[in-house]
Structure 1
């Protein structure tokens, strides 16, 4: 128990020191704090210059709530619980493996360090995105998990900041499911993670932005605003009632597994889910919602 408490303490102090260095710009070019700000400002400016829904306010409904979610989920959540929880879970998992004479590196099938840089990054990105696509499907198919995911689908007007409106339990699920696949393809470093992360962040912001883009023939590869808005549609086809267009960065998986759905121009469709008018509209209540016994 003592070593787990030590892991918790080291996690808090380590992440606090890291966050301070981020804010003071003492970290390398892979600065998530200012990276988030820069990407957000660029996509917001694009929304202002090229608005798809021209009657939507620049400060759309829940703009400031979503702005808070961005910084909470990207930084404060890590400081409060996520990093400590992740490190303790990783240590516990390794300890369990140790009992049977194994370690996580034993699961590694290949090392992407032996591959050309671009190919290694591509494999890392594809594996990560495919696992996240499947995890996203689970969030829609499993009722217990859907109650957490409703926070994200409570968005009523799409905008870049809505990308990071989600319940704090979601990254716990995503990271837990992603842990083993990433261990199997070991060899990536912090710079690899940063490159893929910023790329996915940018695509995610664009997917939620007030932009009428589909990227032409690239729409069959990359998720896009015209596709993702249908994922947030309040009305779904009966044969796909649990959801459509689950892609995170890539639309490719939806086309391969037939979960794609873009029946028409979705610019003005109603967003949300059934009975969302009863869903809470403030941060604390939304975070507590999955624990409520009166869910609709």
Structure 2
């Protein structure tokens, strides 16, 4: 137990020092703090220049709430929960394997050093996105998880920052299900995968932005605003029970597994979910909502 407590302590202090360095002493291109700000400003500027819903304000409904969510979830949540949790769980999982004479490296599908870095990163990206697509479907299908995911679907006007409005439990679920698949293919340093994360953040911002783009023929590969708007539609089509268009970065999984749905231009459809008029409006009440529903 003392070992795990020490891991928690080092994880907190290590990430806090990393975050301070990222903010006050930026000196690398893979700076997540200023990278998020740069991507957000670029997409917001595009929203202002090319608005899809022209009657929607630049500072749309819940703009500042979503901006707070964006920084809280992307940085502070990592400090409070995810880094320490993932490091501790990883060590605990490895300790369990050691009791039967195994280690996680025994199950590796390939070693990153055995492949060109670009190929390894593509595999990392595809595996990660596919696992997250399936996890996203679970968030809609399992009632307990749906209560957490409602926070994201409480968005009533879409904009780039809505991308990162989610309950803190969501990344716990995502990262827990991602841990083993990613550990089995490779161990990458943060700098190695930075380009993948920046690309995913950009696509996620575009998906939620007030932009009427679908990327032409690339819409069958990459998720896009015209597709993702239907994922947030309040009224589900009659032939589905849990949702449509579950893709995060890639749309290809929805087309392959027939969960795609774009019946017409969805620019002015109502967003949300049944009963969202009674959903809490503020950050703390939204964070506490799933706990109240589980009682």
Q: 1:128 aligns to what?
A: 128
- The 3-state SS of whatever aligns with 1:61 is coil
Mean Cα displacement is larger for which, 253-262 or 235-244?
A: 235-244
- The SS at the match of 2:239 is helix
Q: Which residue of 2 aligns with 1:65?
A: 65
Deviations 1:243-270 (A, max 9, x none): 0000000000000000000000000000
Matched, 1:203 2:203: yes
Matched residues in 2 for 1:257 and 1:113: separation?
A: 33
Using the alignment, how far apart are the partners of 2:228 and 2:210 within structure 1?
A: 11
SS at match of 1:14: helix
Q: CA-to-partner distance for each residue in 1:159-203, whole Å, 9 max, x for gaps?
A: 000000000011011111001111111143322221110000000
| Residue 141 (structure 2) pairs with residue 116 (structure 1) | no
Normalising by structure 2, what TM-score?
0.98
Residue correspondence of structure 1 range 80-229 to structure 2 within 5 A: 80-229=80-229
How many angstroms does 1:118 deviate by? 2.2
Partner of residue 9, structure 1: 9
User: Does the CA-based 8 Å contact 2:144-2:294 persist in structure 1?
Assistant: no
Aligned length: 295
CA distance in 2, matches of 1:69, 1:192: 26
Cα distance in 1, alignment partners of residues 189 and 114 from structure 2: 13
Alpha-carbon distance in 2 for matches of 1:169, 1:27: 32
| Distance in 1 (alpha carbons) for counterparts of 2:294 and 2:59 | 32
Q: Is the 1:25–1:31 Cα contact (8 Å) retained in structure 2?
A: no
Partner secondary structure for residue 101 of structure 1: coil
> Structure 1 residue 293: deviation in Å?
3.5
> SS where residue 59 of structure 2 aligns?
coil
CA distance in 2, matches of 1:187, 1:66: 32
Cα deviation code 1:214-261 (max 9, x no counterpart): 000000000000000000000011221200000000000000000000
Partner Cα separation in structure 2 for residue 46 and residue 170 of structure 1: 28
Q: Aligned partners of 2:21 and 2:176: how far apart in 1?
A: 27
**What residue is the counterpart of 1:286 in the other structure?**
286
Taking the aligned partners of 2:246 and 2:25, their CA distance within structure 1 comes to: 35
Question: What do you get for the CA RMSD once the two structures are aligned?
Answer: 1.2
Structure 2 residue aligned with 1:54:
54
Q: Is the 8 A contact 1:113 1:187 kept in 2?
A: no
CA deviations over 1:2-39 (Å, ceiling 9, x no partner): 11111111011001100000001345211000000000
* Distance in 1 separating the partners of 2:193 and 2:103: 22
Tell me if structure 2 keeps the 8 A contact 1:159–1:208: yes
Asked if the contact 1:245–1:259 (Cα under 8 Å) also holds between the matched residues in 2, the reply is: yes
Mapped contact 2:208–2:229 kept (Cα < 8 A): yes
Instruction: Report the equivalent of 2:258.
Output: 258
Does structure 1 conserve the Cα–Cα contact (< 8 Å) formed by 2:147 and 2:293?
A: no
Instruction: Give the Cα separation in 2 of the matches to 1:144 and 1:133.
Output: 18
Instruction: State the shift of 1:78 in Å.
Output: 1.2
1:215–1:148 Cα change, 3 Å: same
Find out whether 1:245 has 2:242 as its counterpart: no
TM-score w.r.t. length of structure 1: 0.97
The whole-number CA distance in structure 2 between the counterparts of 1:293 and 1:74 is 26
Name the SS of the counterpart of 1:199 in structure 2: helix
Structure 2 SS opposite 1:292: helix
What is the alpha-carbon distance in structure 2 between the residues aligned to residue 187 and residue 15 of structure 1?
Answer: 19
